[in-house]
Copies of this chain bind each other. A is one copy, B any other.
Amino acid sequence: MKKIGVFTSGGDSPGMNAAIRAVVRTCAYHNIESYGIYEGYEGLINGEIRKIGARGVSNIIQRGGTILKSSRSEAFRTVEGRKKAFENIQKFGLDGIVAIGGDGTFTGAAIFNKEYNIPFVGIPGTIDNDLFGTDFTIGYDTAINTVVEAVDKIRDTATSHNRLFIVEVMGKDAGFIALRSGIAVGAEAILIPETRTYINQLIEKLEGNRNGRKTSMIVIVAEGDELGGAYEVAQKVKKQCPQYDSRVTVLGHIQRGGSPSAMDRVLASTMGNAAVDALLNGKNNIMIGVVNKEVAYTPFEKAIKHHDKLNMNLVNLAEILAS
C-alpha cells in the first residue's frame, strides 16, 4: 500500500477536515502518499485528484466544511460512472480509498466494492448519527452544541407569558439531534419521528399550564416529525390553544457548519488514523466506528441498514426533567 486516496461526500459535517488531516498525517507517518479527491465521487469520476502532503493539511483541524469539498453524485449511481472512477483510481495508482460521509456514501462504496477490487474504508461523517457501528458520527456533537447555543439565546427572552418557541432542527428520519439537544436545553417538549403521541401531550401541557407555572415554553421539533416542521406545529397549536403566541425558528444549514467541537475533533482524528491503519491491515468494505471507546469495524451494508434504536431512557429522562 503506497498511495491512498481520501474524499468527503454527502452533506457537510463539522470535523470532516480533522478526519482528512488525520488520514493524510497518518499516511505521512507511514511514508504513504496521500491524494485528495475533490467533490466526492464526482472527483473520482472526473479525475480531480491531487497529492496532499502533511503541510497541506495544516491549520484545517478547526475549520468547518471540507477542504476537499463534497457533493452528491448522480453519475456514481451508473455503471459508467463507476467505471470511470475505477479507471481514475488505476490511473493515479491508488491502493486504497478512505471515504468520509454518511449512508449514501457507504451505499455507493458497497456497490463499487462488489464490482471492483479496490479496498474502501469508510469514516462516518454526518451530523445525523444515524449509522450502525459507532457510538457517535463525526459532526453530531458539534451540531447539537450549535442547536443548544441557539436555543439558549431564545431561553434568555422566554420570560413572557403564554409564549411558545418552536425550534426546528435537522433529522428527516431520526430524532437524535432533537432528543439530545432538547434535553440539553431543557425543552418543555421534543417532537421526533420515532414517537407519535407528543402533540397531544404538548397541548395538554399548554392547557395544564394555564395556571401559570411556566411563563413560556420551548419546543424542539425534528424536521421529519410526523406533524411536519416548526410552522406546521405552530399552526396546530394556534388552532387548539389560541391563547399561545408561537414564534418559529428554523435553524437549517447552520447545523452543518461551524468549527468542530473538541469531541468531534478527537473522534475524527482517531477515526482518520484508524482508517489508514485498517487499510494497512488489509481491511476492506468496512466503516470505522468508535464503540465503548474502542475502534470498531462494521461492514458497509450493516452500517447503513440498521441504526441504533433511539435511546428510550433519554426519552424518559426528557419527560421527567421537563416536568
Q: Which residues of A contact B (CB under 8 A)?
A: 11-12, 14, 21-22, 25-26, 28-29, 54-55, 58-59, 61-66, 69-71, 135, 141, 144-161, 165, 180-181, 183-186, 213-214, 247-259, 261-263, 265-266, 269-270, 273, 292-293, 314, 317, 320-323
Contacts and interface: CB of A to CB of B under 8 A. Distances in A.
A317 B155 contact: no
A306 B261 CA distance: 29
B323 A54 contact: yes
Contacts of A185: 61-62, 265
Nearest to A252: B249
30 contacts: A11-B157, A21-B321, A22-B321, A25-B323, A55-B214, A59-B155, A59-B186, A61-B184, A61-B185, A64-B153, A66-B159, A71-B161, A135-B293, A141-B262, A148-B262, A148-B265, A150-B150, A150-B254, A153-B253, A154-B252, A156-B256, A165-B252, A184-B265, A249-B250, A250-B252, A269-B317, A269-B321, A273-B321, A292-B292, A292-B293
A11 B159 CA distance: 11
Given A161-B71, A293-B292, A154 B254 contact: yes
A156 B266 CA distance: 20
Given A65-B159, A145-B262, A185-B265, 10 more contacts: A14-B156, A25-B323, A147-B262, A148-B265, A152-B257, A154-B252, A154-B254, A156-B256, A269-B317, A292-B292
A263 B12 contact: no
Contacts of A261: 145, 148, 261
A55 B320 contact: no
Copies per complex of this chain: 4
Contact of A263 (B65, B263, B292, B323): B263
Nearest to A313: B270
B266 A184 contact: yes
A292 B294 CA distance: 10
Contact of A159 (B25, B26, B70, B186): B70
A209 to B, nearest CB: 12
Given A160-B70, A323-B54, A183 B266 contact: yes
A59 B273 CA distance: 29
Contacts of A61: 184-186
B321 A25 contact: yes
Contacts of A314: 266
Given A54-B323, A292-B293, A153 B257 contact: yes
